[in-house]
Structure 1
Amino acid sequence: MTANRKFEEITLSSESVFKGRIISLQVDQVQLPNGGTASREIIRHPGAVAVIPLLEDRMIVVEQYRKPLEKSQVEIPAGKLDPGEEPLQAALRELEEETGYRSEHVKHVSSFYTSPGFADEIIHLYVAEQLVKGEARPDEDEFLECEAITLEQAQQYIREGRISDAKTILAVYAWQLYKLTGQI
């Protein structure tokens, strides 16, 4: 058995439990590497994008209410991929919809799984520079406010819990590295 397959779980059955607008939930019965069986609850997600928008010495963030947390959060602009949409196009769309800014200087930073223990959601992270201000067009069910913050403010927001999601914390650390080394 090859090293990357020695922990593989073989799906014996799969049951769709819920299908929503954004996510679906399935329960799989799997055979474990030792021959035993187990149940796996899996969230399926279409994938998402997030953007680190840098405007001179500031990062553009949005504050919005997050119902699962029952509080407002400060985050980088982000959103789910539409069917068939390329991540770069989604990143440009989300940047403009949520902040009003556009950019022709966008670079892919990384793609990462948010919670691989129970979900297949992947976020494609980009950095956008040389921003040009336009008009924000949030979705009709999005209520948010934009702010341009310094690195010090971002770090303070993390300490205060105003920034507490993984993608934005990663963005702040990537920005800090960029400021120190010139590379992201």
Structure 2
Amino acid sequence: MTDDEIRKACEKAGYQILSSERVYENPWTAVREDKIIHPGGKKGLYGVVERGTFAVIMPLHADGRVTLVQQFRYPVGKRLWEFPMGTWETRPDADATELALGELREETGLRAGELIHAGTLYQGAGYSNQMGHVFLARNLVRGDAEREETEADMRTRDIPLAEFDRMIADGEMTCMVTLAAYAQIRGRGLL
């Protein structure tokens, strides 16, 4: 949805938007502050984190292994295992399939012969407008990764799907986007 469509949907839901101001911006993230009146009449303030559309990709090999990436996530101070994912700040209007293929190649070196769009999701709809596209990648060919400088610490690992399920059950898989993408792919019967 465009910003105008979102605004109209909020107004249709009974929210009155008194003012809207961008209070912070960098190349990756912006924060907008909206002064509103809730449908029940109470005045309020809504901080909205604005981020570009992302793609998250589950790379599934013919032998049933899945490729994960691990990187240090600064906001939580931990290295997390995740599906490859990302956004292109310099090309916010990039096609979702092109973005997914590019992020997969960039982070893992994998090229997908088949890419299946499994759906969309919102990373944090309570505070952010960021939407992502979920893909299942198959018919994979390994090549060299093309990581950005900020991804220099990234590691990759191929594991059996059963090991991935164990990581979920044991609480080792804590990336919300990875978990949600996996649920969408499984729920749609793609595995």
Normalised by the length of structure 1, the TM-score is: 0.88
Segments of structure 2 that go 5 or more residues without pairing to the other structure are 1-9
Moved over 4 A (4+): 174-178
Q: Secondary structure at the match of 2:52?
A: coil
- Indicate conservation of the 8 Å contact 2:53/2:92, yes or no: no
Instruction: Say if 2:60 is the partner of 1:50.
Output: no
What's the counterpart of residue 137 of structure 2? 128
Instruction: Say if 2:75 is the partner of 1:65.
Output: no
After superposition, the C-alpha distances for 1:11-64 in whole angstroms (9 at most, x for unaligned) are 110122110121101110012212332110110011111101101211111011
- Indicate conservation of the 8 Å contact 1:151/1:172, yes or no: no
What's the counterpart of residue 121 of structure 2? 112
What's the counterpart of residue 26 of structure 1? 32
Structure 2 letter corresponding to 1:38: G
Segments of structure 1 that go 5 or more residues without pairing to the other structure are none
For 1:22 and 1:9, locate their aligned partners in 2 and report how far apart those are by CA, in whole Å: 28
What's the counterpart of residue 139 of structure 1? 148
Say how many residue pairs are matched: 179
Q: How does 1:161-172 map to 2 (within 5 A)?
A: 161-172=171-182
Instruction: Say if 2:102 is the partner of 1:96.
Output: no
Structure 2 letter corresponding to 1:47: T
For 2:12 and 2:105, locate their aligned partners in 1 and report how far apart those are by CA, in whole Å: 44
Q: Secondary structure at the match of 1:27?
A: strand
Per the alignment, do residues 40 and 157 of structure 1 end up closer, same or farther by CA in structure 2, a change over 3 Å counting?
A: same
- Indicate conservation of the 8 Å contact 2:56/2:181, yes or no: no
For 1:14 and 1:5, locate their aligned partners in 2 and report how far apart those are by CA, in whole Å: 13
For 1:15 and 1:175, locate their aligned partners in 2 and report how far apart those are by CA, in whole Å: 37
For 1:157 and 1:175, locate their aligned partners in 2 and report how far apart those are by CA, in whole Å: 17
Normalised by the length of structure 2, the TM-score is: 0.85
For 2:166 and 2:30, locate their aligned partners in 1 and report how far apart those are by CA, in whole Å: 36
For 2:185 and 2:18, locate their aligned partners in 1 and report how far apart those are by CA, in whole Å: 44
For 1:32 and 1:20, locate their aligned partners in 2 and report how far apart those are by CA, in whole Å: 29
- Indicate conservation of the 8 Å contact 1:63/1:146, yes or no: yes
For 1:177 and 1:14, locate their aligned partners in 2 and report how far apart those are by CA, in whole Å: 38
Q: CA deviation at 1:104?
A: 2.7
Q: How does 1:146-161 map to 2 (within 5 A)?
A: 146-161=156-171
Per the alignment, do residues 131 and 67 of structure 1 end up closer, same or farther by CA in structure 2, a change over 3 Å counting?
A: same
Q: CA deviation at 1:172?
A: 3.6
Q: Superposition RMSD on alpha carbons, in Å?
A: 2.1
Question: Share of identical aligned residues, percent?
Answer: 26
